[in-house]
């Protein structure tokens, strides 16, 4: 009996020891179960991303493909370091090309603003965009490439907004230069009002509202232009047709055949453009035809004047010859006496 009790105590003590041992052993933490971050791979990832952000794959596709293969197969810190160095070198080759491309974009966006005359009327708007472009250049030179990229994007957005303003400005100027306001005064006045609202919204920093107003103004100005060209083409055709009839009446089609024929060809092409509703082309062509018919008439008049002068000189010579013959006859008759 005593032996059984002793054996039972041993079993209980052993079980208690096992329980205590299990509770005293800490469970592995989640952090301990993850592998430590590899600094070399981290650097390779960052170098790769920077090269991608500045379009290295587009500028050097074959080199990028080779680097990508090395990156995917890298495993050791030494391999990742070598790949990171290679990405950095490719980035250094890319960044001047990337910068030049952005500069070209800025110049291309800026040029229409200057050529249209818009910059001359609103120089303060162009200066704001130019300041952003200059800020991008300064950041690039300071090797703040991400900052330079943001400034370039801001400058291009500003130039693009101003570009809409320039298109509105040009459409309005064309209407005024051609005297088209008379053909659709209502739309022209309304377009002016909306264009002024666009300027006010832009000054208040409400760019979306400014662009919306500018788009409406441009639409209305274009309607004025369309109506103007339609009316203008009709007016110019009437003028060209009248000049043509005058040229025929003076027989320019005979006396100045080549010039008249050229005018006639232009007139026919203008009629074709009018039938196709290409009113601006038709209007300008009628102006050209009218001018050529007028030239044919002028050539005919000059030829007529030259012919009349030749006849006058000939008649004078005939009279002189006749007078000389009479005098000679008188002398001969007098001498025979």
pLDDT tens column, 88-139: 999 999 999 999 999 999 999 999 999 999 999 999 999 999 999 999 999 9
φ and ψ at residue 144, rounded to 5 degrees: -90, 80
Residue 301 burial class via C-beta count within 10 angstroms: exposed 0-12, middle 13-18, buried 19 and up: middle
CA distance 283 to 232: 6
Residue 35 DSSP SS3: coil
What digits encode the pLDDT tens for the residues 139-179?
999 999 999 999 999 999 999 999 999 999 999 999 999 99
DSSP label at 276?
Answer: T
Give percent of the chain above pLDDT 90. Answer: 77
Which residues does the chain have with pLDDT short of 70?
A: 1-37, 323-337
Per the confidence metrics, is the pTM higher than 0.95? no
Spatial separation of the C-alpha atoms in residues 195 and 167, rounded to whole Å = 11
- pLDDT of the residue at 13: 37
Burial 161-187 (b: 16+ CB within 10 A, else e): bbbbbbbbbbbbebbeeeebbebbeeb
Residue 30: per-residue pLDDT: 31
| Reduced 3-state DSSP string for 154-203 | HHHHHHHHHHHHHHHHHHHHHHHHCCHHHHCHHHHHHHHHHHHHHHHHHH
Cα gap 337→321, rounded to integer Å: 25
* pLDDT attached to residue 36: 40
- 295 with 255: CB under 8 angstroms? no
What 3-state class would DSSP assign to 105? helix
Distance CA 183, CA 170 (A): 18
Q: Give backbone dihedrals phi and psi of 116, rounded to 5 degrees, phi first.
A: -75, -15
pLDDT the model gives residue 171: 95
Burial class (CB in 10 A: 0-12, 13-18, 19+), 203: exposed
Query: What residues contact 322, with CB distance under 8 A and at least 6 apart?
Result: none
Residue 303: per-residue pLDDT: 87
> Can you say how many angstroms the Cα of residue 120 is from the centroid of all Cα atoms in its chain?
19
pLDDT of residue 334: 53
The C-alpha atoms of residue 135 and residue 144 are separated, in whole angstroms, by: 11
Res 315: pLDDT: 78
Element (H, E) at 223: helix 207-249
Nearest to 75 by CA among 31, 50, 35, 40: 40
């Amino acid at each position: 009996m005593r032996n059984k009790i002793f054996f039972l105590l041993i079993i209980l003590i052993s079980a208690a020891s096992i329980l205590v041992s299990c509770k005293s052993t800490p469970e592995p933490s989640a952090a301990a179960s993850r592998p430590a971050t590899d600094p070399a791979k981290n650097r390779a990832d960052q170098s790769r991303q920077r090269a991608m952000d500045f379009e290295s794959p587009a500028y050097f596709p074959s080199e990028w493909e080779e680097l990508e293969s090395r990156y995917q197969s890298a495993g050791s810190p030494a391999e990742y370091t070598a790949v990171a160095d290679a990405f950095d070198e490719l980035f250094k080759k890319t960044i001047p090309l990337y910068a030049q491309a952005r500069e070209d974009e800025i110049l291309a966006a800026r040029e229409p603003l200057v050529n249209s005359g818009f910059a001359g009327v609103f120089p303060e708007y162009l200066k704001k965009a130019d300041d952003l472009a200059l800020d991008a250049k300064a950041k690039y030179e300071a090797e703040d490439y991400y900052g330079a990229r943001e400034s370039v994007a801001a400058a291009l957005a500003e130039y693009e907004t101003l570009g809409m303003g320039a298109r509105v400005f040009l459409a309005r100027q064309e209407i005024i230069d051609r005297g088209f306001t008379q053909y659709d005064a209502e739309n022209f006045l309304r377009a002016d009002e909306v264009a002024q609202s666009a300027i006010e919204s832009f000054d208040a920093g409400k760019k979306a509202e400014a662009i919306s107003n500018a788009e409406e103004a441009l639409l209305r100005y274009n309607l004025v232009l369309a109506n103007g060209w339609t009316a203008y083409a009709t007016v110019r055709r009437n003028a060209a047709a009248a000049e043509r009839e005058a040229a025929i009446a003076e027989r320019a089609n005979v006396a100045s055949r080549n010039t008249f024929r050229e005018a006639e060809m232009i007139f026919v092409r203008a009629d074709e453009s009018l039938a196709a509703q290409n009113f601006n082309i038709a209007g300008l062509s009628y102006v050209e035809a009218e001018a050529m018919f007028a030239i044919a008439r002028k050539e005919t008049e000059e030829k007529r004047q030259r012919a009349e002068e030749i006849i006058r000189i000939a008649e004078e010579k005939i009279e002189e010859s006749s007078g000389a013959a009479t005098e000679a006859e008188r002398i001969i008759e007098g001498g025979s006496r």
